[in-house]
């Protein structure tokens, strides 16, 4: 229907030139740049053929009917432009081939033997037909950076941005329709994991075969395998009269919906875009550079002491402009100084995390550590990094401070600093500070004015310490009753109580409110201390505690809301099956979260109840551990407790049953079970299965020992065999009966990442006593 309307509209619009137009191309036809360079669609809106690219020509589809001649598709986009003597032919055997003279190289565009005719359709699709008029090949199935109405992005396929508006070869960003139902933007050459994502549709776990669809009214939406609309990316319903739409992942990494009013002969205008912040796309700036944007432009700035590798090419990044002295003796660090960069955020690739109340301590710690090249300081945590720093951007609302270690000597022959020099330096520094201070005042004024920033800040309870502004807030019971609308919407039930959905900050922030049950009656002070400890754990793989309530007999916790359910939903719901890569990412996320609890946070926390129901998934498919630190509320002295099993049947380490002391290795055990569940996609205990395979640990070891791991791979699960074996081996090490045999979480992570080898595990031996 719609295409008929469009066709009528366009044919009246282009009648003047419609006579010469070709819409049916027969075998033996050919095109050359210059004259007869394209095959036009019937209405003349779209053309297939040569268009100008750089010093030569490329083959593709463009909007011939508008002055901009916007290119929507390019054949073999990474092949260099061809000369004006090239020919494009629809050969006698039905192949579409580009012959580039004088080199006489042949580039096959569509190898579809048996095609008898071709047509440039008015939808913008170029198709090859067989003699039965069935489609053999179509450009709509090979998208580059754009989609047109009627075109779909299928599961497992992706769009790649172009290098620039005029160079249509593959650029540095991609938009992928994943097999897990999530539509995600990443930089190129990165794994499909949450850490690299910079935009997502939030439909993680909607099953395979989800497609991105595009209708002529500008509606972009996701359909699942059964054809249900699961997400509207754009609202749609935009005017269709004399208007066409185009969706494209632009060279700047943002994906946009454009409209064009044909009658106005105007220009493309943006109807919708995936982000308003030009610095959102990760990797826009190369290594050691960071992105600074206003509403219209994004710039890349080098770290202090660095300069651009190729001036003018921001993706090439920045390199040191000082001579790096060897750092091996104690006094060497005197040749370095730390430069401070406020309000910038970076990818955290810390090799060590320390807790300091003051930023000066962090600065000093990095200066004195020869391995440290930069440090990120935020919320009393000091994260030491090695270079290069990546995915940097300025974010005025972020309190992160980056310290960069810079050599005092520059390649140029600097005069030795003397009193005079120092005074000048001081003058310059104070001038800079004054200017910067003034700027900050103006900026914060603007921010305040625009966003009422002050009101959004969470009120602080207790003593003001550095970093306390992000400490969990104390709520009264009536406040939480109101936030959850009288505890109306139950979203889960865990070992510690029931979870309700709610909203705080005038409905601006969706939260999960957990009503604790079975909590030991504890004093106000102990509870608050505990909340503070939990509240100070900040890690991307831990669910964030935002507040708590200790009101009479009520004990409630307020967490950030995780929109995508738990790992249990993903693993044990047949429709939500996730792919191998995704599962590997989840296993790594969980390991990182536990490692943080065990080794990196202020006070060691043993979780005691690691299980898939306690692993929650955020919008981007990143796994986060919840309920950590709660074991403490049940009983003090958690690390060496002898009474009462805390964990959940099937996941608890044997030492719980033997009343042995509980250490971090109990979490390693539970992690091992969860890891086996993740790789095998089944529950650790499943009595619906035959008895010999009902208990996963025993079955897994049996399969491993007999060298028949294929039996462990779930039905229609595509796994990487080598990695699968590694993960099973690692799982078996983690579930060793003897706690000291189990690896530490740090080792687990190294093994997961393939950094260290995994020896052959012995029999865990205890798997029958666990149940
Ligand atoms: C295109 O032309 C071929 C032969 O000239 C004819 O058989 C075919 O039906 C035509 N196709 C269309 C869509 O008109
Ligand atoms: C262009 O192609 C048409 C049909 O394919 C042909 O009739 C015409 O002669 C060609 N013009 C030139 C200049 O080659
Ligand atoms: C997805 O599509 C493929 C190919 O059409 C099909 O084999 C598979 O069963 C589909 N998966 C689901 C979950 O519908
Ligand atoms: C598609 O979504 C609908 C509605 O949300 C749901 O009922 C259906 O089970 C989903 N289909 C698949 C294959 O996930
Ligand atoms: C998407 O938008 C359409 C209207 O354009 C509406 O009918 C539908 O319910 C929406 N779907 C979702 C999942 O929001
Ligand atoms: C359309 O917009 C682009 C970018 O904003 C501009 O470069 C171009 O000149 C405009 N073209 C017309 C015809 O207005
Ligand atoms: C954004 O910055 C560029 C240069 O950095 C400047 O030319 C432009 O006017 C700025 N735009 C706005 C809206 O401030
Ligand atoms: C810019 O640098 C990147 C990375 O070094 C390189 O791939 C790209 O070709 C360069 N671009 C230009 C226009 O030189």
235 alpha-carbon distance from chain centroid: 24
293-342 tens-digit pLDDT: 987 899 999 999 999 999 889 999 999 887 766 665 455 546 788 999 99
228 lines ligand 5 (CB under 6 A): no
Q: Is the CB of 24 under 6 A from ligand 1?
A: yes
Q: Which CATH superfamily is domain 146-273 in?
A: Bulb-type lectin domain (2.90.10.10)
Q: How many angstroms does the Cα of residue 237 sit away from the middle of ligand 5? A: 10
User: Which residues of the chain carry a pLDDT beneath 50?
Assistant: 1-21, 329, 333, 410-438, 440-469, 635-644, 767-771
Mutational pocket test of ligand 7: of 296, 301, 314, the residue with most ligand atoms within 8 Å of the beta carbon: 296
Q: Would the CB of 227 count as within 6 Å of ligand 4?
A: no
Per-residue tokens: 468: 């306390």
> pLDDT by residue (tens digit) across 545-555?
888 888 878 88
Q: Which ligand is nearest to the CA of 70?
A: 6
Question: Which ligand gives the minimal distance to the CA of 132?
Answer: 1
Is 146-273 the same fold as 20-141? yes
Residue nearest to atom 6 of ligand 8 (CA): 316
Nearest of 626, 495, 497 to residue 561 by alpha carbon: 626
Q: How much distance in Å is there from the Cα of 36 to the middle of ligand 2?
A: 6
Residue 537 CA, ligand 6 centroid: distance in Å: 50
Q: Name the DSSP class of 599.
A: I
Strand ranges, E, within 124-169: 126-129, 135-138, 146-147, 158-162
Q: Which CATH class is domain 20-141?
A: mainly beta
**How confident is the model at residue 639, as a pLDDT?**
39
Asked whether the beta carbons of 745 and 675 are under 8 A apart, the reply is no
pTM for the structure as a whole: 0.61
Whose CA is closest to atom 6 on ligand 2? Answer: 36
Q: 67: Cβ below 6 Å to ligand 6?
A: yes
Quick check: helix, strand or coil at residue 679? helix
What is the maximal distance between C-alpha atoms in the chain?
Answer: 90
The answer, yes or no, to whether any atom of ligand 5 lies below 6 A from the CB of 218, is: no
Question: Residue 104 corresponds to which tokens in the numbers above?
Answer: 């006489």
CA distance 46 to 88: 17
Count, residues in the chain: 771
Q: Which are the contacts of 109, defined by CB distance < 8 A and separation ≥ 6?
A: 59, 75, 76, 88, 96, 97, 98
Does the beta carbon of 236 sit less than 6 angstroms from any atom of ligand 5? yes
Would you kindly state where each structural domain of the chain is located, as residue ranges? Answer: 20-141, 146-273, 289-407, 417-451, 461-561, 566-771
Rounded distance between C-alpha atoms, residue 474 and residue 458, angstroms: 10
CATH 1.10.510.10 for domain 566-771, yes or no, is yes
> Are 698 and 677 contacting, i.e. CB atoms less than 8 angstroms apart?
no
Task: Give the distance (Å) from ligand 8 centre to CA of residue 336.
Answer: 31
- Cβ–Cβ < 8 Å for 160, 170: yes
Distance CA 129, CA 718 (A): 34
CA dist list (Å): 729 to 44, 694, 716: 62, 19, 22
Q: Which residue's C-alpha comes closest to atom 11 of ligand 1?
A: 24
- Name the architecture of domain 461-561: 2-Layer Sandwich (3.30)
Residues at the binding site are 515
**pLDDT at residue 717, as a whole number:** 84
Ligand 2 neighbour 313 (Cβ under 6 A): no
Distance CA 74, CA 145 (A): 9
Whole-angstrom distance, CA of residue 77 vs CA of residue 59: 8
The vertex-628 CA angle with 647 and 464, nearest 5°, equals 150
Which residues sit opposite 547 in a β-bridge? 473, 558
Beta bridge partners of 52: 57
Pocket test for ligand 5, best of 183, 226, 229 (most atoms within 8 A of CB): 229
Q: Where in 484-593 does DSSP place strands (E)?
A: 490-493, 497-504, 509-516, 545-551, 554-560
The whole-angstrom separation of Cα 300 and Cα 390 is 12
Other CB atoms within 10 Å distance of the CB of residue 685:
17
The superfamily in CATH containing domain 289-407 is Hepatocyte Growth Factor (3.50.4.10)
Distance (angstroms) between ligand 7 centre and the Cα of 294 equals 6
CA-to-CA distance for 611 and 608, rounded, in angstroms?
9
Burial 532-541 (b: 16+ CB within 10 A, else e): bbbbbbbbbb
In contact, 540 and 524? CB cutoff 8 Å: no
The confidence score (pLDDT) of residue 437 equals 45
Active site (catalytic) residues: 609
- What does the angle CA 602 – CA 604 – CA 608 come to, to the nearest 5 degrees? 140
């Amino acid at each position: 229907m719609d295409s008929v309307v469009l066709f009528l509209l366009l044919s009246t619009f282009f009648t003047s030139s419609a006579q010469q137009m070709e819409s049916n191309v027969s075998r033996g036809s050919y095109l050359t740049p210059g004259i007869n360079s394209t095959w036009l669609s019937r209405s003349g809106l779209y053309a297939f053929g040569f268009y100008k690219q750089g010093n030569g020509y490329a083959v593709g589809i463009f909007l011939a009917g508008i002055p901009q001649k916007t290119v929507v598709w390019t054949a073999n986009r990474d092949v260099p432009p061809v000369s004006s003597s090239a020919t494009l032919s629809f050969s006698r055997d039905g192949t579409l081939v580009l012959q580039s003279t004088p080199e006489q190289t042949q580039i096959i565009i569509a190898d579809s033997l048996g095609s008898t005719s071709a047509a440039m359709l008015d939808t913008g699709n170029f198709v090859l037909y067989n003699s039965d008029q069935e489609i053999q090949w179509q450009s709509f199935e090979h998208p580059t950076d754009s989609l047109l109405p009627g075109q779909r992005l299928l599961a497992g396929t992706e769009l790649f941005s172009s290098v620039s508006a005029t160079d249509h070869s593959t650029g540095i960003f991609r938009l992928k329709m994943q097999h897990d139902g999530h539509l995600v933007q990443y930089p190129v050459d990165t794994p499909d994991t949450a850490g690299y994502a910079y935009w997502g549709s939030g439909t993680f776990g909607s099953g395979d075969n989800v497609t991105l669809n595009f209708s002529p009214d500008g509606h972009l939406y996701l359909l699942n395998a059964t054809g249900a609309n699961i997400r509207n990316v754009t609202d749609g319903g935009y005017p269709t009269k004399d208007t066409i739409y185009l969706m494209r992942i632009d060279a700047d990494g943002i994906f946009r919906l454009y409209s064009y009013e044909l009658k106005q002969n105007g220009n493309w205008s943006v109807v919708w875009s995936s982000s308003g912040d030009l610095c959102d796309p990760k990797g826009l700036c190369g290594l050691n550079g960071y992105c600074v944007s206003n509403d219209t432009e994004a710039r890349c700035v080098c770290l202090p002491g660095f300069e651009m590798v190729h001036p003018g090419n921001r993706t090439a990044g920045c390199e040191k402009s000082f001579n790096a002295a060897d750092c091996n003796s104690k006094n060497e660090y005197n040749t370095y100084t730390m430069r401070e960069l406020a309000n910038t955020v970076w990818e955290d690739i810390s090799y060590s995390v320390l807790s300091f109340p003051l930023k000066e301590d962090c600065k000093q710690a990095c200066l004195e550590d020869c391995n440290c090249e930069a440090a990120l300081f935020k919320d009393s945590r000091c994260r030491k990094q090695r270079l290069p720093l990546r995915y940097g951007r300025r974010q005025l609302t972020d309190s992160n401070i980056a310290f960069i270690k810079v050599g005092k000597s520059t390649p140029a022959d600097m005069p030795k600093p003397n009193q005079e020099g120092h005074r000048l330096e001081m003058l310059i520094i104070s001038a800079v500070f004054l200017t910067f201070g003034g700027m900050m005042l103006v900026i914060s004024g603007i921010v305040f004015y625009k966003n009422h920033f002050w009101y959004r800040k969470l009120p602080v309870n207790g003593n003001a310490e550095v970093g306390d502004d992000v400490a969990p807030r104390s709520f009264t019971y009536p406040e939480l009753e109101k936030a959850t609308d009288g505890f109306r919407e139950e979203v889960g039930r865990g070992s510690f109580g029931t979870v309700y959905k709610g909203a705080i900050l005038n409905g601006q922030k969706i939260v999960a409110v957990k009503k604790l049950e079975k909590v030991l009656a504890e004093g106000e002070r102990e509870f608050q201390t505990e909340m503070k400890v939990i509240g100070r754990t900040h890690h991307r793989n831990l669910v964030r505690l935002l507040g708590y309530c200790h009101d009479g007999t009520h004990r409630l916790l307020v967490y950030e809301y995780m929109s995508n359910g738990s790992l249990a939903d993903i693993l044990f719901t047949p429709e939500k099956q996730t792919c191998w890569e995704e599962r590997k990412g989840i296993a790594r996320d969980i390991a990182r979260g536990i490692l943080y609890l065990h080794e990196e946070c202020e006070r060691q926390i043993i979780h005691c109840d690691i299980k898939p129901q306690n692993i929650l998934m955020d919008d981007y498919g990143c796994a986060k551990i919840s309920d950590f630190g709660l074991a403490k509320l049940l009983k003090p002295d958690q690390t060496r407790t002898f009474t009462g099993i805390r964990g959940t049947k099937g996941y608890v380490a044997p030492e719980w049953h033997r009343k042995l002391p509980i250490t971090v290795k109990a979490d390693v055990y539970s992690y091992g079970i969860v890891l086996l569940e993740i790789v095998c996609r089944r529950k650790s205990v499943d009595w619906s299965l035959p008895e010999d395979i009902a208990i996963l640990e025993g079955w897994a070891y049996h399969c491993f020992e007999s060298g028949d791991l294929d039996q462990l791979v779930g039905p229609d699960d595509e796994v990487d065999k080598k990695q699968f074996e590694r993960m099973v081996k690692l799982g078996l090490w983690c579930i060793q009966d003897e706690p000291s045999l189990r690896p530490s979480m740090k080792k687990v992570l190294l093994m997961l990442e393939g950094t260290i080898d995994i020896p052959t595990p012995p029999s865990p031996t205890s798997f029958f006593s666990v149940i």
